[in-house]
Amino acid sequence: MPTTPLRLAPPAGNGAAPRLPRLATGDFVNLADLSRKEFLALLDLAADIKVHPGRYRDLLSGCGLAMIFEKPSLRTRVTFDVAMQEMGGHAVFLDFTESPLGEREDIMDVARNLERWMDAIVARTFGHESIELLARSCSVPVINGLSDASHPCQAMADFLTLREAFDEFPRIKLAYVGDGNNTLHSLLEAAALAGITMSVATPPGYEPDAAVVARAQALAQRSGARLSLGHALGAALRGAHAVYTDTWSSMGQEAEQTQRARDFAAYQVNEALMARARPGARFLHCLPAHRGQEVSVGVIDSPVSLVYQQAENRLYAQKAVLAALILGHAKGGHPPHAAHSARA
């Protein structure tokens, strides 16, 4: 059976220094890189930041974040920028939408320049290998803001939302319906770390990556999580406390839209499909959503929808990740640039 989540002791008093988890990996590339203790500690930190933002107002004073974006963004760009500002730091946006990362200049050289000016890098890329190379090439933390392989920041916000929505967390079942994409990959890893039950229904031919599934199943064996994957909607939805879906065609898959619309038609999350889940089941979507395609208007705009709570929680989850990485110094062994400046 899933065990009870670990809890961090809150800071003692409104002005006290927060207790920050130390992430052994030094980066935030895939959730599977974290231990269960680290994952749950980040959730606890995010929850405390949300309730007591004043405790963290100057936590990253003088620190800088480089934001590398190959893809358009609303939530990722705004929440990382606001997160740094609200914790006393600053962010610099680097637009790689016209010239992909590594085309104009080697990724290694980009990394080794940025590490001399900034305290962390967040990258939103097409190729996952670009983020991995960034992380290997520099001494400051690298955060995966989204890649074609995973979306760990989104899954952190989603599980913060699930904890808020369900008093019985982690004794819940999450059903995912739709494409076996990057979001699903990170949700599987998060479910395995959290110790919940998660079932997945994808159309044939759209299953998640087998290596990611194997990695998540290995984590689940240690946490007590139960992960099941298949094509049958009934099995996935039966007893589900929450139902999650994502767009049928991600960025870079526009040419497949017509075929995907046919293949995914039976997997639309509408009122009839939600009725197959647990009474009162909640709906989740990482956004952007396409009403009338993967989800009906009657579901996404109904009282059971948590999509805007998820979006809000991106801010707090990412604050927790930034604080733990920048102040943890697990990677490179040296303090952030703000500390260098203070000693100068």
Provide the residue ranges of all domains of the chain, joining segments of one domain with +. 31-150+315-333, 152-309
**pLDDT, mean over the chain:** 92
pLDDT at residue 157, rounded to an integer: 98
Question: Is the torsion defined by CA of 126, 178, 222, 162 positive or negative?
Answer: positive
For residue 29, which of 145, 194, 181, 140 has the smallest C-alpha distance?
Answer: 145
| From the candidate CATH numbers 3.40.50.1370, 3.30.1280.10, 3.40.50.300, 3.40.50.360, the one assigned to the domain spanning 31-150+315-333 | 3.40.50.1370
CATH architecture of 152-309: 3-Layer(aba) Sandwich (3.40)
Q: What is the pLDDT of residues 183-234, one digit of tens each?
A: 999 999 999 999 999 999 999 999 999 999 999 999 999 999 999 999 999 9
For residue 221, which of 188, 248, 254, 195 has the smallest C-alpha distance?
Answer: 195
Q: Return the DSSP state at 90.
A: E
Contact 41, 21 (CB under 8 A): yes
Residue 17 has pLDDT above 60, yes or no: no
Let me know if the fold of 31-150+315-333 is the same as that of 152-309: yes
Q: What is the pLDDT of residues 85-115, one digit of tens each?
A: 999 999 999 999 988 887 999 999 999 999 9
Reported as a pLDDT band with limits 50, 70 and 90, residue 313 is: very high
Residue 176 has pLDDT above 70, yes or no: yes
Q: What is the pLDDT of residues 250-278, one digit of tens each?
A: 766 667 888 999 999 999 999 999 999 99
Average pLDDT of span 12-41: 84
pLDDT at residue 284, rounded to an integer: 99
Alpha carbons 133 and 105: distance in angstroms, whole number: 13
* Catalytic residue annotation: 124, 151, 154, 246, 286, 314
Cα dist. 223→16, 89, 170, 197 in Å?
A: 32, 36, 11, 11
